[in-house]
Copies of this chain bind each other. A is one copy, B any other.
């Protein structure tokens, strides 16, 4: 996998996705708190922010916000995140939030037996109203970009966002930009716009334009329509061989794929499964796993850490 030259590129990565204001009650609970801390976040954006602040890469976010104090707060948080905002699209405010809003995400931490409970308030957002033609992808990629990233959350925002993702990917490929996609299936988002069937249709169309694909077991099965033999409905056991076989099918069906990255969790006991053992498996061209690293869990950030270390550095040293 070859990246565009670092010296002549202005950005290492451009990401396309929603950025929400995250409201966090700290040690308390959303339903009884009297204060919230705020952060910004979003599946696709987090990749751009992490690569910028942890690895020093030059990253860019393509998104949209309503131009009101909440939108400006999200901008203020993104500025702190160091992600370039030149391609942030500001949408006029109607003063009430009927026509377009900014996405909000109320999240709390679990404690002991109690699971983490959240509350997404992201209907009618400016970014969900993005449609094909709104972004001048040619100009963006012509400015010099090495990697383009988007994912299944952005594609689930509305009927129009998959088309935006498609035109971005096609433009990226024309400019030799590596394209990655994180399946990141969220049932609640798809529920109102067609459910799992629609998710599969959208994802399959987009994955055909992808170089690097991220996903966990649920992503590959529910959101992309593959089967893993020997997996029951609770995902309590995940035989590595079956999984590797499934990945083989994925690569056979989508020949553009150069890398498939996933994290396999081995459940040990009820409370310790995802705290003690997780391995990243990256399946490259050679049909066998590129690398498999036992690691304390860092969820979705792990594949990106490896990629930042491998893909960007090696291509820079050229």
Contact = CB atoms under 8 A, between A and B. Distances in A.
Interface of A: 23, 29-38, 68-70, 72-73, 75-77, 79-82, 93-99, 101-102, 104, 106, 108, 112-113, 117-124, 188-189, 191-192, 296, 298
A82 B31 CA distance: 14
A96 B113 contact: no
Given A94-B192, A113-B298, 5 more contacts: A34-B34, A35-B38, A69-B106, A94-B188, A96-B188
Contacts of A80: 32, 76-77, 79-80
Name the residue in A31, A102, A122 with the highest tally of chain B Cβ atoms < 10 Å from its Cβ. Answer: A31
A96 B93 CA distance: 21
A69 B124 contact: no
B296 A113 contact: yes
B31 A38 contact: no
A188 B99 CA distance: 12
Contacts of A31: 69, 72-73, 75-76
A71 B198 CA distance: 30
Given A120-B96, A123-B97, A123-B99, A30 B192 contact: no
Contacts of A121: 70, 97, 101-102, 104
Contacts of A98: 123-124, 192
A156 to B, nearest CB: 9
A104 B106 contact: no
Contacts of A123: 94, 96-99, 101, 124
Nearest to A117: B69
A94 B35 contact: no
Contacts of A191: 94-96
A262 B191 CA distance: 45
23 contacts: A31-B72, A32-B73, A32-B80, A33-B38, A35-B35, A35-B36, A69-B117, A69-B118, A70-B119, A79-B80, A79-B82, A80-B80, A94-B188, A95-B120, A95-B191, A96-B188, A97-B120, A97-B122, A98-B123, A98-B192, A99-B123, A104-B121, A124-B124
A189 B82 CA distance: 33
Nearest to A83: B79
B38 A108 contact: no
Contacts of A34: 34, 37-38
Contact of A96 (B82, B99, B108, B122): B122
Contacts of A23: 23, 36
Contact of A76 (B32, B38, B97, B112): B32
A1 to B, nearest CB: 28
A111 to B, nearest CB: 12
A311 B112 CA distance: 27
A68 B119 contact: yes
B38 A37 contact: no
Nearest to A23: B36
A88 to B, nearest CB: 12
